[in-house]
Amino acid sequence: VQLVESGGGLVQPGGSLRLSCAASGSGIYPMGWYRQAPGKQRELVATISRGVSAAYAESVKGRFTISRDRSKNTAYLQMNSLQPEDTAVYYCNAVIGRIEFWGQGTQVTVSS
């Protein structure tokens, strides 16, 4: 499975971005978004099950929404009310059995 992220960029504080993660191949599997800021460990942002069950890090609850379009085999992360502390490289993740797949990452920078 190949995962290709898109949608990152530079946004002002309080702004919004939507990230996309297109997965190659077929099948429905759990997917998620992680992020890694400079000098910090990669952290979980949000996950979505094979159905529609979602979970979020406390720091993004109420601001970020994860979703998926099964017909396009694509996961999304809608990010609202972005803050400078959200600046990071965002990575898409998929779990198939015991194997994890990662995208190449997309940079999100929140700055005035």
CA distance linking residue 28 with residue 16, whole number of Å? 27
For residue range 50-62, list pLDDT tens digits in order: 888 999 999 999 9
User: What residues contact residue 52 under an 8 Å CB cut-off, 6+ apart?
Assistant: 68
Residue 49 or 52, more confident: 49
Asked if residue 29 has pLDDT above 90, the reply is: no
Diameter over CA atoms, the chain: 42
For residue range 76-109, list pLDDT tens digits in order: 999 999 999 999 999 999 998 899 999 999 999 9
**Residues 66 and 75 sit within 8 Å (Cβ to Cβ):** yes
31-36 and 43-48 beta bridge pairing = antiparallel
CA distance linking residue 112 with residue 109, whole number of Å? 10
99-102 and 31-36 beta bridge pairing = unpaired
Tokens 């609202």 appear where? 80
